Structure 1
Amino acid sequence: MARNQGVLGGPGDASQLLQAGFTQKAFNQFLSAYPSSAIADSVTTYIERSVESVTSVLANASHDTAYPLDRLSSGNALLRAYTETSNASYGDALTALRDSVDLQPKNAEGGLWYYTYPDWSYLDGMYSYAPFSAAYAVQYDIGALRHAVQNVTHQLDLLWEHCYNATTGLLVHGYDASKTAVWADPATGASPHVWGRSLGWYAMALVDTLELLQGPLVDADAWHHLHGRFVELASAVARAADPATGGWWQVLDAPGREGNYIESSGSSMFVYALLKGVRFGYLERGFEAMNGDDTTGSIANASYVDVASRAYEYIADTFVVDNGNGTLGYNGTVSVCSLNSTASYEYYVGQSILYNSVLGSAAFVLASLEYERTVFVSL
């Protein structure tokens, strides 16, 4: 808040829109957990500032498609704000966002383009797209809920089918349906590497969508299908945790390779997804080695809470910085990784690290809230 992050200072760009939406989500979760906090009023006012800053930018559906799917990250806060105030400008932006999904270009299989790159679909956009689409249908278009659930499931499934690696159980960054990109696998169109933060977005999308769609009005088969995806992914993510630190690598399919490092935003996202999955009862047991392999070490036989708690404590000790003036900073967050690149290992580990990136700090706030709800409360 002191840094004015998550509030657009101008017309906005793709990154600023994602930062705003992610800030709104983190702060709304804080208010949900601590409604009587001494800073609750200040946080509420800040969320309003953030929402106000994106409202005019997102008020035209056709123009909205010029931004990545990340633009939809503000949708949940706009839903809340419009419901509480009936403010017409919020309603206009909300409707435009929803309509922009229908206008988003799609590949031949119906997969949403992440951005302007033809036929390219990324894991990244699912955190913004899936929960918003589900929440909008539940709240304002209940008659189309089944159709909305089918659409959300289809998008998540397309990424799973193209990007899933049967050896690790993890998903690579994205795919090119035309299979013409320099990095595209000739059979699947998949990119070559598992980027931690993109998989973090996808894992959070699954657990948040499961929360929004549980209830008697939702197709039970669709919910259980998504739940199965989440359980399978959670097991693979837990197995991929670094045995030495408990955190997760920037490039998850190259643990320990020279140049690779434990990255703070993806690591916090995985903590959030695992602990929230436990809290809601989506993850009831510990996980097993893949294909019955005999693995050793504490991680192989741990529970999800064990894995997530160990990772959280490492993150807090390693990446949270005491600025010495009563404020905290957050380090270790990679700036951005795009498939509009070589998508090589060298590319992913060569991107710069940003201090106090909202994509890291907001993820850490979300992870912290889940840790406090699930672990700290029992200590």
Structure 2
Amino acid sequence: MITAVLLISALLTAATTAPRLPASEPAPIPAPAAVSGKAPAPDWSTAMVEATMRRHSPGSLGGWSYTRGLYLYGQYLVYQRTGDPRYLRYIKDWADRFVDSGGGIGQSFSNLDSMESGNVLLILARETGQARYRVAAQKIRNRLKSYPRTSDGGWWHSTSDSREGQLWADGAFMVNPFVIRYGQQFGDAAWGDDESARQIEIYASHLLRTSGDAAGLLYHAYDQPGGRTASWVKPALGHTNGISWCRAIGWFGMAAIDVLELLPPAHPRRAALIELIRKLVPAYARWQDPATGRWWQVVTEPGNSGNWTETSCSSMYTFTLSRAVERGYVDASYRDAARRGYQGVLARISLTSDGLTNLTTISEGTNVDDVLSYYFNRPRTTNDFHGLGAFLIMNEQMIRTGDGQGES
């Protein structure tokens, strides 16, 4: 029997008793369980976590960044399913490089990207019961009180002069799941529920494509008129960059799903967020590559010879499709698109001769541009943390619904 992954909302309802956290020395990857009549099928989540722990100690994993926060959140989901205490200890050891005994954290939180790893602080506050992680997380909450906004209330992607007034679809994920989790975990739900849902709606109002074959997709970024105008702005396309980059849309979809997981049933914005999912999911299915089950780096350019199917966004879309079906937001027929996406992503993962996972064809971190070749020419990496984190989130979802491979 496949062990069920606890829902994301368990972050808000689990007990706060501090566990005993053993050393994080990684063990060799276990031999995959044999499947009758088939080649051995590894538990790809545990294989990836074990490989990452062998490749990187908590001290060498990397600095405070959204990519590490994304990955470690995925590792936490694997911990929830398997109960392996080494996985939680590893997360704690990484975070303790940045959080001191009093909860001090040396981050200015001058952009939304820097806030994503706040989810790790929320996890540790619950799992350990130590107040210092709440203190550190509260610094993000306090920063958001004065963080600059567009005229209609959207948080800028960054406070730097060159990005003043900009909303990137990426940013919806960098801050809003943290906001609603923080609010419900620490008695600030009126703010967290309202603000997270409001931000999703504001971002969609500027970025969502509403006509043509690409209706339901999003443009990568928007720049508010009236200030410094970014070089990529296309005024005729709503002051956006005019390009639908796959991972940006994936970030947005996961953010909307994560907020809906916790938004109360009677919340006045809940119906609007579900309606966004009902626009996004058919667009995902419409633009899925029929040959591979994956999605293209520039979603709307499948016939362009420079384009390529990208692994991290394919994981994100698969997760969103699966969860949307599971929650009843969309018709059950979209489960087939999720299954095809899952198989397409699995085609990109393998084990090396020494038992380490390799996940390939992941786009490097990406800025905003209005030229297709910029996105086509982004380096294609192996084991980039954008891809590792998205893979774990997707794989744990698929295991939990019975559509993925896990421990037998």
Choose the corresponding residue for 1:177, options 210, 224, 236: 224
Shift of 1:48: 0.9
In structure 2, the residue matched to 1:155 is: 199
Letter in 2 for 1:141: G
In structure 1, the residue matched to 2:309 is: 262
1:23 corresponds to 2:52: no
In structure 2, the residue matched to 1:299 is: none
In structure 2, the residue matched to 1:123 is: 169
In structure 2, the residue matched to 1:104 is: 147
CA deviations on 1:228-285 (whole Å, 9 max, x unpaired) are 11122112111111122111000012122120000000001111111122223333x1
Choose the corresponding residue for 1:133, options 179, 182, 188: 179
Judging changes above 3 Å, is the alpha-carbon distance between structure 1 residues 70 and 26 closer, same or farther for their aligned structure 2 residues? same
Judging changes above 3 Å, is the alpha-carbon distance between structure 1 residues 376 and 86 closer, same or farther for their aligned structure 2 residues? closer
In structure 1, the residue matched to 2:391 is: 364
Matches within 5 A, 1:290-329: 303-317=333-347, 319-329=348-358
Choose the corresponding residue for 2:109, options 53, 65, 78: 65
Counterpart secondary structure, 1:321: strand
Choose the corresponding residue for 1:193, options 223, 226, 243: 243
Judging changes above 3 Å, is the alpha-carbon distance between structure 1 residues 171 and 5 closer, same or farther for their aligned structure 2 residues? farther
1:242 corresponds to 2:289: yes
Which has the larger displacement, 125-134 or 181-190? 181-190
Letter in 2 for 1:224: A
Letter in 2 for 1:21: G
Shift of 1:344: 1.1
Shift of 1:377: 6.9
Shift of 1:7: 5.6
Which has the larger displacement, 158-167 or 328-337? 158-167
In structure 1, the residue matched to 2:321 is: 274
Shift of 1:139: 1.6
CA distance in 2, matches of 1:348, 1:313: 24
CA deviations on 1:296-317 (whole Å, 9 max, x unpaired) are xxxxxxx211111111112112
Q: Normalized against structure 2, the TM-score is what?
A: 0.78
CA distance in 2, matches of 1:170, 1:375: 28
1:349 corresponds to 2:376: yes
Shift of 1:113: 1.1
Letter in 2 for 1:312: Y
In structure 1, the residue matched to 2:276 is: 229
CA distance in 2, matches of 1:159, 1:74: 21
Letter in 2 for 1:76: N
CA distance in 2, matches of 1:233, 1:375: 23
Letter in 1 for 2:93: R
CA distance in 2, matches of 1:25, 1:282: 24
1:213 corresponds to 2:263: yes
CA distance in 2, matches of 1:241, 1:329: 23
Shift of 1:19: 2.0
In structure 2, the residue matched to 1:373 is: 400
What is the total number of aligned residue pairs between the two structures? 343
CA distance in 2, matches of 1:203, 1:358: 18
Shift of 1:54: 3.6
Judging changes above 3 Å, is the alpha-carbon distance between structure 1 residues 365 and 84 closer, same or farther for their aligned structure 2 residues? closer
CA distance in 2, matches of 1:78, 1:125: 19
In structure 1, the residue matched to 2:95 is: 51
Shift of 1:135: 0.9
Choose the corresponding residue for 1:3, options 55, 70, 80: 55
Judging changes above 3 Å, is the alpha-carbon distance between structure 1 residues 242 and 177 closer, same or farther for their aligned structure 2 residues? same
Provide structure 2 residue ranges, at least 5 long, that are not aligned to the other structure.
1-52
Query: Given that residues 65 and 104 in structure 1 are in contact (C-alpha distance below 8 angstroms), is that contact kept between their aligned partners in structure 2?
Result: no
Letter in 2 for 1:359: H
CA distance in 2, matches of 1:277, 1:6: 34
Counterpart secondary structure, 1:220: coil
Q: Normalized against structure 1, the TM-score is what?
A: 0.84
